[in-house]
């Protein structure tokens, strides 16, 4: 599956496309399929997201899980500051 992600323009927070808007939680993300580039262009133009791009992910029972470790860390927050984490349940290093 494909996810659209970027950073919120004003706050810089990592955000994920939910199908109708943006969420800070990757669990809310939806598969954008082949629509990623078009969404990216329209959302960037509308200033709702900064530096957006499409990533690969897999569907799991806990929701979408980015394939690359960098994106998993973006989804979870820094692994060395649990107090600042968004979601500590995301497996950073895949078994």
Contact residues toward another protein (CB under 8 A) are: 7, 9-14, 44, 47, 50-51, 67-70, 73-74, 77-81, 84, 93
Least distance to another protein, CB of residue 84, Å: 6
**Which residue number, 18 or 50, has a Cβ lying nearer to another protein?**
50
Smallest distance from the beta carbon of 75 to another protein, in angstroms?
Answer: 10
Q: Are 52 and 4 in contact (CB under 8 A)?
A: yes
- Nearest to another protein of 7, 23 (CB atom): 7
**Residue whose structure tokens are 């078009």:** 38
Nearest to 63 by CA among 30, 27, 16: 27
Q: Is 48 exposed, middle or buried (0-12, 13-18, 19+ CB in 10 A)?
A: middle
Which C-beta is closer to another protein: that of 19 or that of 68?
A: 68
């Amino acid at each position: 599956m494909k996810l659209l992600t970027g950073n919120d323009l004003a706050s810089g927070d990592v955000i994920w496309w939910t199908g109708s808007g943006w969420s800070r939680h990757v669990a809310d993300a939806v598969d954008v399929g082949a629509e990623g580039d078009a969404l990216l262009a329209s959302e960037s133009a509308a200033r709702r997201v900064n530096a957006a791009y499409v990533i690969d992910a897999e569907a799991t029972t806990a929701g979408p899980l980015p394939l690359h470790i960098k994106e998993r860390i973006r989804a979870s927050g820094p692994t060395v500051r649990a107090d600042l984490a968004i979601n500590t349940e995301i497996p950073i290093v895949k078994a």
